[in-house]
Amino acid sequence: MKTKSSDRTGVLILRLWIEANHETGLRARITQTLATTAIEHPVAVAASADDICEVVKNWVQNFTDASGLR
């Protein structure tokens, strides 16, 4: 049985913008970290609401897996 680990903090920054001259227009840059003490932070990009939601969902799952909450 998994138990809760000590307190942890993760951060996800979602930046959205519209590019008028692009087919879908929507753009996202997602900066993420599972530990605020990390030096480097992975960045994802997406161009649809579904893709953005998938990145966020994966980040939350990775965060809870690392915390032993699954």
Residue 5 lies in a domain: no
* Reported confidence tier of residue 4, pLDDT bands at 50, 70, 90: low
DSSP state for residue 62 in the 8-state scheme: H
pLDDT in tens, 23-54: 778 999 999 988 777 788 889 999 999 999 99
Residue 20 lies in a domain: yes
Residue 1 lies in a domain: no
Residue 2 lies in a domain: no
Calpha distance 29→10 (Å, rounded)? 17
Q: Which residue range forms the structural domain that includes residue 33?
A: 11-67
Provide the domain count of the chain.
1
Residue 53 lies in a domain: yes
Residue 15 lies in a domain: yes
pTM reported for the whole predicted model: 0.76
Residue 38 lies in a domain: yes
